[in-house]
Amino acid sequence: MLANVVVDQRKVYIDELTVVGVPIRTTDRAEEKGTGTIPAHWDMFYKQQMANKIANKVTGKMFALYTDYEASNPIEFTFALGYEVTPGGELREEMREFTIPAGEYMVFTTAIGPAKKVVLDAWSYIWEWSNRNERAFVLDFELYDERCIDPNFSQVDIYVSIKS
């Protein structure tokens, strides 16, 4: 399964990052069943050109954050789309500043293909991986860079917070 869905996985240490994004609350169950709000959130982010409304961007790399986990059944969490920024900038009302904590992360690199499919397939793999490894459930994120210019031919890195 690894070769078809995740082409690489490695442990890395990253320094703290600040991301400004537009958040929503959802649950793992709703997203798995296809009744969640993440796809509509992506659509809104692009249609309302939210990227252009985020000040002090550091790079053009986009982040999809998963944070504020509540260990309930189903698992509730905050999902946000945004960009790394220099801290302390002006925020629009619908935005929030997030801190990606410094620490160890497991990075899963998806196969190349339609972004929606390769990311969902990789998350299925990561949930299986989680049965044998300890996730920290602090903050996880997908990083969309120059490999994602064509949404039908994309490759994404997914960073999962792990217990050290």
- Whole-angstrom Cα Rg for the chain: 15
162, part of any domain: no
CA 81 – CA 46 distance, rounded (Å): 10
Same domain as 82, residue 150: no
Q: pLDDT for 74-115, tens place per residue?
A: 899 999 999 999 988 888 889 999 999 999 999 999 999 999
164, part of any domain: no
Does residue 145 surpass a pLDDT of 70? yes
Residue-level pLDDT at 164: 78
Q: What are phi and psi of 38, to 5 degrees?
A: -65, -50
Terminal-residue alpha carbon distance, the chain: 26
Decide the pairing of beta strands 157-161 and 6-14. Answer: unpaired
Number of structural domains (the chain) is 2
Same domain as 55, residue 121: no
55, part of any domain: yes
pTM for this entry: 0.94
Q: pLDDT for 24-54, tens place per residue?
A: 999 999 998 888 999 999 999 999 999 999 9
CA separation (Å) from 11 to 33, 106, 146?
Answer: 30, 4, 22
Q: Which helix (H) or strand (E) holds 60?
A: strand 57-70
Same domain as 152, residue 114: yes
Residue-level pLDDT at 98: 97
Same domain as 72, residue 125: no
pLDDT-derived band of residue 6, with 50, 70 and 90 as boundaries?
very high
In percent, the amount of the chain with pLDDT more than 90 equals 84
Same domain as 131, residue 59: no
CA 136 – CA 151 distance, rounded (Å): 30
Average pLDDT of the residues in 127-146: 94
- Identify the CATH number of the domain in which residue 80 sits: 3.20.80.10
Decide the pairing of beta strands 139-144 and 96-100. Answer: unpaired
62, part of any domain: yes
CB 37 within 8 A of CB 30: yes
CA 50 – CA 53 distance, rounded (Å): 5
42, part of any domain: yes
Residue-level pLDDT at 110: 96
Q: Which residues pair with 17 in a beta bridge?
A: 100
Residue-level pLDDT at 34: 84
Same domain as 23, residue 90: yes
The set of residues, in sequence order, having a beta carbon less than 8 Å from that of 34 and lying 6+ positions away, is none
Which residue, among 88, 82, 43, 87, has the nearest Cα to 66 in the 3D structure? Answer: 82
Q: What range defines the domain where residue 88 resides?
A: 17-100
CB 100 within 8 A of CB 21: no
